[in-house]
Structure 1
């Protein structure tokens, strides 16, 4: 990317919080080590003066950042929701989907949102592909069965989805969610005639997207901790060999998880190759 401003800092100064703050403001930048100093490069002339102003505010103590995520200290939960509106909407729809089995006492709405229709009285699943009801291809990602299911998926969605939305925008995040969600649901439906639901396939897609992007764009990478990525991949492998079922966690939609991860990797590679802001 073209560089319009170059600022130097001592190596011992931690710029992680300020870097995250800049990404939250959607300001492209990179940090490199040159001649024994950290160098901050800003890729837009229009942002140069604003970045200098923020640095001056930090020096005066007027801008205090949270070291954990680069957000100004004291920011409210509501403020975080407003900063990631797409993630907030996805979370809300997931919560509604988790509450639906309790709210839909007559069992009339839930069967219309699963990939395959089923009888609320006998539980019989009908092998009917949703060609005439295309919303069924995506709607299962919002259905959750149990408190732990929605809690863990909501946490991962907030963490991973928030990174993508903050850095690359609402359209990019929703595009990944829609494509991964549809792909993982179709793949799972092809493997078994059962009722399934959850955001897990999408979450693994978000992980795959970030892994691929970070591989091709190391100077614009997401702050994804390697330990977190390895944990998620390890858990996927353990579920595929039956550990989750052995622990009494129920049946796991392994096909949705694996296909979501692969689709996310593909989308991440394509996005990194087509993006119009090349690394310096």
Structure 2
């Protein structure tokens, strides 16, 4: 996001924000102790927004202003760095541990260390991960995927939904949401099934729940995803618990990670509003 201008807190920007929403121009307004700021995504021309604001402040009829449609440039890592890092790391890690076949790599990435003795699985307690200072383990399971279908499905959701959070609310907010969702969903799944799981699915559920609930709690939609997406994911979650998806060949489903991610995404909305300067 790019800052367009700062104005005093006494300035009522609701009318100007209303016009921007009517023209489908994404934006956010933040406040600190002395002023409020207007922000727009990087692809929105700030000179145009500044000009519109000046005309609005002078009482001009904004209906006569022709708003240039923003040109969407080809995306590069510099525009969505966190999304690119997340997807690239998922691809590298998944390749290195061979979709779950390379245990010598996998045991460094699971939420707790483990050993396979014959058909017996032995693994350490979560406290061992903490006391041994192997704290990366609370995050790294999200990078492990056990099939091509698994990583493609999750990556598409992160690209569509997660990237929009980063573009609208910034990389810091997006990183916090991802880390919060990863830790919550990984711990939840571990408590049910042990350490042999992985994937971005918990984070996917979190970002979907986050964008849906944010728009639900706001006067104006910030992300604009159709509510049907959330309905689809809840139905998918329910089907996972029935065992139907496994019988159809989707493999073992980390249902608890999905549910924990969904809850984490909902809780992230009030937490982000309390911790960061975000849109009204």
TM-score (norm 1): 0.74
User: Of the candidates 100, 109, 114, which is equivalent to residue 118 of structure 1?
Assistant: 114
Describe the superposition over 1:181-239 as per-residue Cα deviations: whole angstroms up to 9, x where unpaired: 01111111111135100000011111222222222223253211111111111111111
Unaligned residue ranges in structure 1 (runs of 5+):
30-42, 66-71
In the other structure, the counterpart of 1:108 is: 104
1:112 aligns to what SS in structure 2? Answer: coil
Alignment of 1:172-251 (within 5 A): 172-219=173-220, 221-251=222-252
Output the CA distance in 2 between the equivalents of 1:105 and 1:191: 22
In the other structure, the counterpart of 1:15 is: 23
Output the CA distance in 2 between the equivalents of 1:7 and 1:111: 51
Task: Work out whether residues 208 and 230 of structure 2, in 8 Å CA contact, stay in contact via their aligned partners in 1.
Answer: yes
In the other structure, the counterpart of 1:93 is: 89
In the other structure, the counterpart of 1:6 is: 16
Task: Work out whether residues 140 and 196 of structure 1, in 8 Å CA contact, stay in contact via their aligned partners in 2.
Answer: yes
Task: Work out whether residues 206 and 264 of structure 2, in 8 Å CA contact, stay in contact via their aligned partners in 1.
Answer: yes
Unaligned residue ranges in structure 2 (runs of 5+):
1-8, 31-35, 41-45, 54-64
Describe the superposition over 1:147-170 as per-residue Cα deviations: whole angstroms up to 9, x where unpaired: 111101001011111111111111
1:218–1:273 Cα change, 3 Å = farther
User: Of the candidates 44, 51, 68, which is equivalent to residue 49 of structure 2?
Assistant: 51
Root mean square deviation, CA, Å:
3.4
Task: Work out whether residues 116 and 122 of structure 2, in 8 Å CA contact, stay in contact via their aligned partners in 1.
Answer: no
1:125 aligns to what SS in structure 2? Answer: strand
2:16 aligns to what SS in structure 1? Answer: strand
Output the CA distance in 1 between the equivalents of 2:264 and 2:169: 18
Task: Work out whether residues 84 and 165 of structure 1, in 8 Å CA contact, stay in contact via their aligned partners in 2.
Answer: yes
Output the CA distance in 2 between the equivalents of 1:120 and 1:49: 62
Output the CA distance in 1 between the equivalents of 2:38 and 2:269: 28
1:247 aligns to what SS in structure 2? Answer: helix
1:124–1:111 Cα change, 3 Å = farther
TM-score (norm 2): 0.74
In the other structure, the counterpart of 2:271 is: 270
Report the alpha carbon displacement of residue 102 of structure 1 after superposing the two structures with TM.
Answer: 3.2
Report the alpha carbon displacement of residue 44 of structure 1 after superposing the two structures with TM.
Answer: 4.3
In the other structure, the counterpart of 2:80 is: 84
1:173 aligns to what SS in structure 2? Answer: helix
Describe the superposition over 1:80-116 as per-residue Cα deviations: whole angstroms up to 9, x where unpaired: 4321111111111111122122399864222111123
In the other structure, the counterpart of 1:33 is: none
Output the CA distance in 1 between the equivalents of 2:69 and 2:207: 30
